[in-house]
Amino acid sequence: MKNYYFSILFLFSCFFTFSQENEKQPVFPVVKTDKEWKEQLNGMEYYVLRRSGTEYAFSSALNNEKRKGIYQCAGCDAPLFRSENKYDSGSGWPSFDQPLTEKAIFYAVDYEIGVARTEERCANCGSHLGHVFEDGPRETTGLRHCINGVALKFVPDEN
């Protein structure tokens, strides 16, 4: 009987170790080494995308981008957001009420400023994009996807 309990305990600890590791290191379709990312990205892009940094508010030209088009991941070109879902939040970062598809985004929780925030990452390459907050436009989703402009590449629609 004692053995039985031990094996249950053992299975349980395996499961926990497994799920914790899974949470820390999800596997994304695009995998690159740190060296490869450094070669591909400029300093600010690397800091934001690969080190979960934040660009200065109002520093991105994409804040004022009003053209129709698609916003891709600056790390892997995956399509993430559309101009129709962009709005002026006044926060100083490009803001969207929803992503192109929910599958395009990987959500995780971070505690970098001491409180839980929902972090957004590109579901294709795992690069950090920004955070999602619940103070978005009430007439649509109520969500504000607050995205670093440097994490995005804007591709205007062809007319």
Contact residues for Zn ion, defined by CB under 5 A:
73, 75-76, 78, 122, 124-125, 127
Check residue 81 and give left, alpha or beta (phi > 0: left; psi -120 to 50: alpha). beta
Q: Which tokens belong to 1?
A: 């009987």
Minimum distance of Zn ion from residue 112's CB (angstroms): 20
φ/ψ bin of 114: left (φ > 0), alpha (ψ from -120 to 50), beta (otherwise): left
Burial of 95 per CB tally in 10 Å (0-12, 13-18, 19+): buried
**Based on CB atoms, which residue is closest to Zn ion, 47 or 137?**
47
Cβ neighbours around 100 below 10 Å, total:
18
Active-site residue, 122 included: no
Residue 116 Cβ vs Zn ion, minimum distance, rounded to whole Å:
24
Q: Is 35 or 66 the residue whose CB approaches Zn ion more closely?
A: 35
CB of 144 to Zn ion, least distance (A): 21
> Is the CB of residue 155 less than 8 Å from the CB of residue 53?
no
Picking from 127, 123, 125, 102, the residue whose alpha carbon sits closest to that of residue 45 is 127
When the beta carbons of 108 and 137 are compared against Zn ion, the nearer one is: 108
Between 63 and 124, whose beta carbon lies closer to Zn ion?
Answer: 124
Length of the chain in terms of residues written: 159
Cβ 123 to Zn ion shortest distance, Å = 8
> Which residues form the catalytic set?
146
